[in-house]
Amino acid sequence: MTVYTERQEELAGVIDFESSKSDWTDWKWHIRNTIKTVSSFEKALGITFSDRERKKHELTLRKFPLGITPYYLSLIDVEDYKNDPVFLQSFPSPKELVIERCDMTDPLHEDEDSPVPGITHRYPDRVLFHVSNLCSMYCRHCTRKRKVGDQDSIPSKSQLEQGIEYIRNTPQVRDVLLSGGDPLMLSDEKLDWLLTQIREIEHVEVVRIGTRMPVVLPYRITDKLVNMLKKHHPLWVNTHFNHPREVTDSSRRALTKLADAGIPLGNQSVLLAGVNDCPRLIKTLNHKLVKSRVRPYYLYQCDLSEGLSHFRTPVGKGIEIMESLRGHTSGFAVPTYVIDAPGGGGKIPVMPNYIISWASNKVVLRNYEGVITTYTEPESYECNYCDRNCTDCNLQLKEDDAEEKAIGVQKLISDWDETLSLTPEDTERMERNSHVA
């Protein structure tokens, strides 16, 4: 079984004269030989930039670091590299220095919603835990590109312990999402320690790892790693494929190892102008993913982080893609398209409209083919009035009574909350009324 191509063998020799055959599949060799400078990139691919171009690239790198694994580099089509999706995702563009009015350094307020360093606690029952600040490949479209790769923000062991302590002291947290950087940049031993610590916390029901290793360095998924991970079930892994060209034999092998270890796999793509803003391309990608037992989970609208403006598409492009997926292909090949709201609003799903109209007894809907149809509502639905008294409810959930606290629109539609409207606090009318009270 050939594990690498002729192109990869040739590239290995150019990058590291002393490399041997087994080095290519050794993930640590790739980390040691990661391309970090413009000149080593040129040398490896046999490309020569003009002095002006090189200067521009180097200027960009002073703000946002460069890092490309030899493996990911080997996927670049040198003949047409300027349009190559792998090149565009990994090599800096001078456009990264363009700052638009809407750009922000921390659009998702990950630092503001952070009770202790490294933890973002935005949703009621789950936290994002930044356990590494490094990646094997620095995605040009990274939402955290101002921080990731910065040697000064690498979490220390005591910072990780602080994060674990926060989770331990916060019983609402039932889902812990390890992110970074790339959590698989940690050694197997460190990761094993971390997962053991988190698993020991009784209220934590699931742990997820977000990693791009199956895409950019699939050899990181070793038997040793997978044997360690499977001790910590239920463990989920989400990865980040953006283009069908990234689904190679090597990445398939990595995905197979993970899936065979019983780890449910998801994929989070980012919609990127000039890389994957095409309904047919996303469909092909998703078909390749489900063949490797990876469920397309999210399709993200590109964030408002600084340096990403050239990657952003209009939201309409995402809706167009969703329109061409739902109904046209397997339901499990259809991700949820989300906009991660600036200001820490969290992920908001966006979809084409399928409900056309509504009457007291009927809903009018349209399907993916354009058929307009109706669904008649039941005549005798007995509304289950909910006072949150689950112990006595007919539905036999048999759990303690639910908390009476509700938030958002859920609060408006609930039976047990008297709230009639959600009103912004800072309108002039509200200010006038506050004096009366």
Q: Minimum CB separation from ligand PLP for residue 322, in Å?
A: 17
Asked about 135 being catalytic, the answer comes back as yes
Please, which residue, 74 or 120, has the CB nearer to ligand PLP? 120
User: Closest distance between ligand PLP and the C-beta of residue 120, in Å?
Assistant: 4
Active site residue 387: no
For residue 137, what are its two tokens? 């490949």
Q: How many residues does the chain have?
A: 437
- Least gap, CB of 12 to ligand PLP (angstroms): 36
157-165 long-range contacts, Cβ below 8 Å, gap at least 24? 159/117, 159/118, 160/118, 160/131, 160/194, 162/116, 162/117, 162/118, 163/116, 163/117, 163/118, 163/119, 163/129, 163/131, 164/194, 164/197, 164/198, 164/201, 165/116
Our answer to whether residue 415 is catalytic in this structure is no
From 90, 65, 94, select the one nearest 77 (Cα to Cα): 90
Q: How far is the CB of 20 from ligand PLP (least distance, A)?
A: 41
Whichever of 84 and 110 has its CB closer to ligand PLP, that residue is: 110
Closest CB 408 distance from ligand PLP, rounded Å: 15
Nearer to ligand PLP, 347 or 366 (CB): 347
Examine the residue annotation and report whether 126 is marked as an active-site residue of this protein. yes
| Cis status, amide bond into 424, omega within 30 of 0 | no
Residue type at 341 in one-letter notation: A
Identity of the residue, 49 or 123, whose beta carbon is nearer to ligand PLP in the bound complex: 123
Chain residues in the site for ligand PLP (CB under 6 A):
120, 122-123, 126, 128, 177, 347
Choose, from 126, 145, 212, 257, the residue flagged as catalytic: 126
Q: Which of 36, 123, 168, 192 is catalytic?
A: 123
Q: Give the C-alpha separation, 174 to 167, whole Å.
A: 9
In 3D space, the residue among 243, 333, 352, 342 whose CA is nearest the CA of residue 294 turns out to be 333
- For residues 209 and 183, give the distance between their C-alpha atoms in angstroms, rounded to a whole number: 7
| Catalytic site includes residue 144 | yes
- In the residue annotation, 102 being an active-site residue is answered as no
CA dihedral 35, 37, 40, 44 (to 10 degrees): 50
Looking at beta carbons only, is 29 or 129 nearer to ligand PLP?
Answer: 129
Sheet-wide strand order for 372-376: 355-358, 362-366, 372-376
Where is 371: in which H helix or E strand?
none
CB nearer to ligand PLP: pick between 118 and 244: 118
Give min distance, CB of 295 to ligand PLP, in A.
Answer: 12
**Of residues 67 and 296, the one with the C-beta less far from ligand PLP:** 296
Tell me the three state secondary structure of residue 293: coil
User: Whole-angstrom Cα distance, residue 373 to residue 361?
Assistant: 14
Q: What is the largest CA-CA distance in the chain?
A: 81
Report the residue number, 86 or 176, with the smaller CB distance to ligand PLP: 176
Cis amide linkage into residue 210, ω under 30° from 0: no
The pair of structure tokens assigned to 291 is: 């063949």
Question: Is-contact 149 134, C-beta < 8 A?
Answer: yes
Question: What number of CA atoms fall less than 13 Å from residue 174's CA on the CB side?
Answer: 4
Query: Active-site residue 142, yes or no?
Result: yes
> Closest separation between CB of residue 232 and ligand PLP, Å?
19
Catalytic-role residue among 300, 303, 312, 337: 303
Nearest distance in Å: CB 209, ligand PLP? 12
The residue from 54, 122, 293, 295 that is catalytic is: 122
**C-alpha to C-alpha distance for 234 and 249, rounded to whole angstroms:** 27
CB contact at 8 A, 159 and 153: no
Active site residues: 122-123, 126, 135, 139, 142, 144, 303, 340, 347
